[in-house]
């Protein structure tokens, strides 16, 4: 399964969410991640995410696609994740 | 065509980008938009976006799907765009 994940968290929770998402997906921009992930791993990640989030305040959106081939990605401007590969 | 758009702009350009994207797509979170759009309208929007963006600094990513049915969306926490519908 291919997913795009975007989160919007309170400042105090951002670092934890970033760290968690990076363990499962590829960071592509700000609070946006993408990657191939199994249903089981996704559930595991969401379980951990819910523990970090304040569900009254924060939001996490996941777009799932059964196959990456149904999605075409286009980047305009700077490819922010160049940096990520160096970390 | 169904698209998900995420931008990451310098602070001074955020308001302009937000306004532009809202004219073409539905705001769903922070700097994330989605919606059905024609190829022509998307080109028009990207042409305008490029005028706003500093392509050395900013980034805009578009995920295109030929059909919304290939994408399944899941929201955890607060549905941020509730507010958007009121504006």
Query: For residue range A5-58, what is the model confidence (pLDDT) as tens digits?
Result: 999 999 999 999 999 999 999 999 888 999 999 999 999 999 999 999 998 889
> What average pLDDT score do residues B15-38 get?
94
**CB-based contacts of A41: which residues, under 8 Å, 6+ apart?**
A24
Which residue numbers of A have CB closer than 8 Å to B's CBs?
4, 6, 8, 28-32, 46, 49-50, 53-67, 70-80
Under an 8 A CB cutoff, do B32 and A32 touch? yes
DSSP letter assigned to residue B69: G
Cβ neighbours of A67 in B, within 8 Å: 70
**Domains (range + CATH), chain B:** 2-68 (3.30.70.240)
pLDDT at B83: 52
Q: The tokens 């938009």 sit on which residue? A: B33
- From the list B50, B64, B71, the residue facing A72 with the nearest CB is B64
Residues forming beta bridges with residue A63, ordered by sequence position:
A4, B73
Q: Is 90 exceeded by the pLDDT of residue B53?
A: yes
Alpha helices by DSSP H, listed for chain A, are 11-24, 39-52, 81-86
Q: Are A73 and A2 in contact (CB under 8 A)?
A: no
d(CA B63, CA B4): 5
């Amino acid at each position: 399964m291919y997913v795009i994940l975007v989160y919007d968290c309170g400042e105090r929770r951002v670092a934890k969410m970033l760290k968690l998402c990076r363990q499962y997906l590829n960071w592509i921009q700000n609070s946006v991640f993408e990657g191939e992930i199994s249903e089981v791993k996704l559930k595991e990640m969401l379980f951990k995410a819910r523990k970090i989030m304040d569900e009254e305040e924060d939001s996490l959106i996941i777009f799932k696609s059964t196959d990456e081939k149904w999605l075409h990605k286009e980047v305009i401007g700077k490819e922010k994740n160049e940096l990520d590969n160096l970390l």
